[in-house]
Structures are given as structure tokens and as C-alpha cells.
Structure 1
Amino acid sequence: MERYNDMFAKLKPHGEGAFIPFVMTGDPDPAQSLRIIDTLIEAGADALELGMPFSDPLADGPTIQNAALRAFAADVTPTLCFEMLAAVRQKIPRYSDWPAGVCQSGL
């Protein structure tokens, strides 16, 4: 939570909101998913919400449900999701000029 608090504290004085895109980890496949995440980081995402495919996503809408199904079709597992999360975390500097945070949903 400290990363998010720092990020919002930096944005608030400027009256800015945060750009926090959602990506289903492993959709449409792990390699493409990492390229999408890299592109979002390069495009200035303040933080990322990385979803973990869930076999019964009743609370999600059809877009996220279909993303989870594509990830499952690509053999994405929870272990792989955490490995991908670790890879993303290595790419995001922790210094204050880039206050990006990473969280995972669907746990």
C-alpha cells in the first residue's frame, strides 16, 4: 500500500488522477501479456492491476471472463502468474520518480 500512498500523494497537489490499467495476466498468452504490460509501463501507467485467471469469475463481466478463458487456454497457472508478477516487479524502479505499484486481483 505504501507505493499507492506515495503515488497518490504525488498526484494530488497537481489535481491529477492515476492511470491504473487492468491486465489479465497471461492473456492472450504469457509472452504477449508481458509485452502489453511493458507497453503500458512505457505509456506512463502509474500502477498496474494484474488479474489472475479464475475458473469461476461470476462477479466479472464478459470482457474479463473471456480474458481469463484465453489465459487458461494458454496454460496459465497461479505459479506462472506469480513468476510473471516477479518479472514485472523487476522492471519497475522503486524510486519516487516512477511511483508505479503492482497488485494482483482475483486471489
Structure 2
Amino acid sequence: MAPVADVGFDHKKFAIYVWRSVRVGGDTKTKQSRRTLEIPTLAADALRRHHTRQAKRRLKAGKAWQDHNMVFATRVGAPMDAANVRHSFQRITTNAGIGKGWTPRELRPLVRVDHE
């Protein structure tokens, strides 16, 4: 069974196909561990808008664009590293009016769940 290859934004529903792995050979541990996870409409709409913004960045970057086929990439298409993520996060928190002193790890839940 091969993964679904029909991509694009002209679908009514979107999903993430967890059919590949970083394991040697690229397959999941077992065929039963393959999953297709539907993406909520709100998230799909946000991804559509992001795709449009990224297409504009690609045009603006011209020959400098590095096509790594990434959903989230730098302004020239390169993979993001930890410093890129921190910088982007600081820009978001500054624009939100809560300052630069925040880090992505602070998005972790504050509630601790104890398991018995």
C-alpha cells in the first residue's frame, strides 16, 4: 500500500498521512501503526493562508529561494533551526504587546497531571 500522493489545496478535507518514518527503510514499525489524521478546518484554513504568504516570499526571494519543500521555512525556503524559531517567536510576542522575554517552551501546559 502506497501513501496518498494527491496534494494541493483544492480538497474539502485535509489530513496528515503518518505512513513514513525516520526508521531505516523509511517505513513505520508495522503497517498497523500507519495513521491518517484529519486536520481541523481552522488549521487547514490557516495552512492555506500560510501557503499563499510563502508563495509570495518565494517570488520575492527569486533565485535565492532554497526549495526544501518545507511547510515552515526561513524567508528563503531553508529549514528553520532553533534560533530561527526563537526569533520568530519573539517577533510574535513583541507584536502581541507582551515583550521579547518569552520562549517557545513557555507554551507547555502549566497543569501537572499525576498518574496513579
- Please, what TM-score do these two structures have when normalized by structure 1? 0.25
Q: Bigger radius of gyration, 1 or 2? A: 2
- Please, what TM-score do these two structures have when normalized by structure 2? 0.23
Higher relative contact order (CA 8 A, sep 6+): 1
